[in-house]
Amino acid sequence: MRNLLLVAAIGLTSVAFGQQLPQYSQYNRNQFMMNPGAAGIYDFTDITIGGRYQWAGFENAPMTAYAYGSTVLSRTKTRYNPSLRTSNGPIKAPEVNTGKLKHAIGAQLITDQYGAFRKISFAGTYAIHIPVTKKHNLSFGTKVGLSNSMFLQERATVLTSMPGYTGPAVNDPEYDAFIASQSSLNFLDIGAGLYFYSKDMYIGISADQLTTDMVKFGSGTANFDPNMHFNVTAGYKFPLNDNLSLMPSALVKMMPRAPLAIEGSVQLEYDERLWLSVSYRHTDAVVLGLGAVISEKFKFGYSFDMSLSQFNKYTFGGHELILGIMLGR
């Protein structure tokens, strides 16, 4: 029969690892990418722009481009005092501020393409941060948006069109019916998250696609039955000396009818401006990362995924590059 190649492989892997949503390797530097409750943990406009290329070496391998941004609606302004000494030291990572009530808004735009399938989603976020103690805040965030899914027939490879195929031509009514029913489909996307944090720790739980495909616009089957996704994250920063700190963290992903996806990370930070990290994604990959704060307004990060899955003989790994923009810091 005429079968989609690579698409089927990607689909099987999605079932194995629960990867119906885009996968990120550098969420530790911006928890808003995983949890809407983390929008506004910094008292300025924080923007992250990134791209991810997964399974390099595969034709039509998964590619993701994304932009996340959040800002606090009100903040305490400090009047200029010429008697204050301005530091000429190195630029450091911004501090997480706690101990006060604040409201934040945010937005995200994601384009995710894998094989012959493409998904574009946009959502707006609101979060409220409530001080529990002077050093700890608890925030609740929710996001509401739309996701658009489509099937790209021109990117589908069928067996009878593969180079070197010498078998008989096969008529597959199921495939023809599938192609005929495809169209661009939009569905409502609602998520929520709780986030408890301080300067040195965080614990979060979030949920995505809470309405699954209950509210949709269009026709066809291009949505591929979206399921609820749940994420649990936690991390704690330990100071090693005046310049070095170590932060172990963990991520657990849960999705109906799929095994748990577990990831553990360790991040070493120097002088609050340079960092190295290593992560282990269970049965999937080892991830190496590095990054730096390069000015008051910009930071960057890069990570490389070394595959441990059944595709490691055919892929050159994965790459993810991000640029952080800090406005009004």
In tens, the pLDDT along 12-23 reads 344 334 457 888
Label residue 75 by pLDDT band (50, 70, 90): low
Q: Each residue of 118-145: b (16+ CB within 10 Å) or e?
A: bbbbbbebbbbbeeeeeeebbbebbbeb
Residues 6+ apart with CB under 8 A from 77: none
Label residue 82 by pLDDT band (50, 70, 90): very low
Residue 96 DSSP class: P
Q: Each residue of 76-94: b (16+ CB within 10 Å) or e?
A: eeeeeeeeeeeeeeebebb
Label residue 139 by pLDDT band (50, 70, 90): very high
Residue 289 DSSP class: E
d(CA 227, CA 208) in angstroms, rounded, equals: 8
Q: Which residue has the higher pLDDT, 287 or 152?
A: 287
- CATH superfamily, domain 7-74+90-327, is monomeric porin ompg (2.40.160.40)
The pLDDT, as a whole number, for residue 171 is 65
- Inform me whether the pLDDT recorded for 167 exceeds 90: no
Indicate the pTM of the whole model.
Answer: 0.83
Average pLDDT, the chain: 83
The pLDDT, as a whole number, for residue 170 is 64
Contact present, 143 and 104 (Cβ < 8 Å): no
Phi, psi dihedrals of residue 135, rounded to the nearest 5°? -105, 0
Contact present, 255 and 230 (Cβ < 8 Å): yes
Among residues 243, 260, 218, the alpha carbon closest in space to that of 89 is found at 243
Label residue 169 by pLDDT band (50, 70, 90): low
Label residue 56 by pLDDT band (50, 70, 90): confident
Among residues 289, 299, 292, the alpha carbon closest in space to that of 319 is found at 289
Q: Which range scores top for mean pLDDT: 79-88, 181-190, 269-278? A: 269-278
What is the rounded average pLDDT of the residues 232-247? 96
What is the rounded average pLDDT of the residues 197-207? 97
Query: Domain locations in the chain?
Result: 7-74+90-327
What is the rounded average pLDDT of the residues 275-280? 97
Kindly report the three-state secondary structure assignment for every residue of 248-283: EEEEEEECCCCCCEEEEEEEEEECCCEEEEEEEECC
The pLDDT, as a whole number, for residue 6 is 39
The pLDDT, as a whole number, for residue 3 is 39
Among residues 22, 70, 63, 23, the alpha carbon closest in space to that of 48 is found at 70
